[in-house]
Structure 1
């Protein structure tokens, strides 16, 4: 099975996006939906549909 690897910088960016929406905008649902949407788009555009990301 193919694995999709994320750089530490990419994971940090996702964490920062999530934290901003969750903490600053106080919208936990939107925070999770946004990050999930980004990951879903990455998977669908790279041919990794159904693949779970490998997190360091």
Structure 2
């Protein structure tokens, strides 16, 4: 199955939330970039940071 989620932060959060024991998540395509381009604007965004935040939230650390 595939689900398209327009908000990258939400997509990472939801993907991590669905992982089970032994699963692996590959966040591909933007890891080297430090921003998210929306229209003509660039917003600070880091895939690894967002993944860490999502994991911490699931573990109840934030």
User: What interval of TM-score do these two structures reach, taking the shorter chain for normalisation?
Assistant: 0.3 to 0.5
Q: TM-score, normalised by structure 2?
A: 0.31
Q: Structure with the greater relative contact order (CA < 8 A, sep ≥ 6): 1 or 2?
A: 1
Q: TM-score, normalised by structure 1?
A: 0.34
Whose strand proportion is higher, 1 or 2?
2
Whose helix proportion is higher, 1 or 2?
1
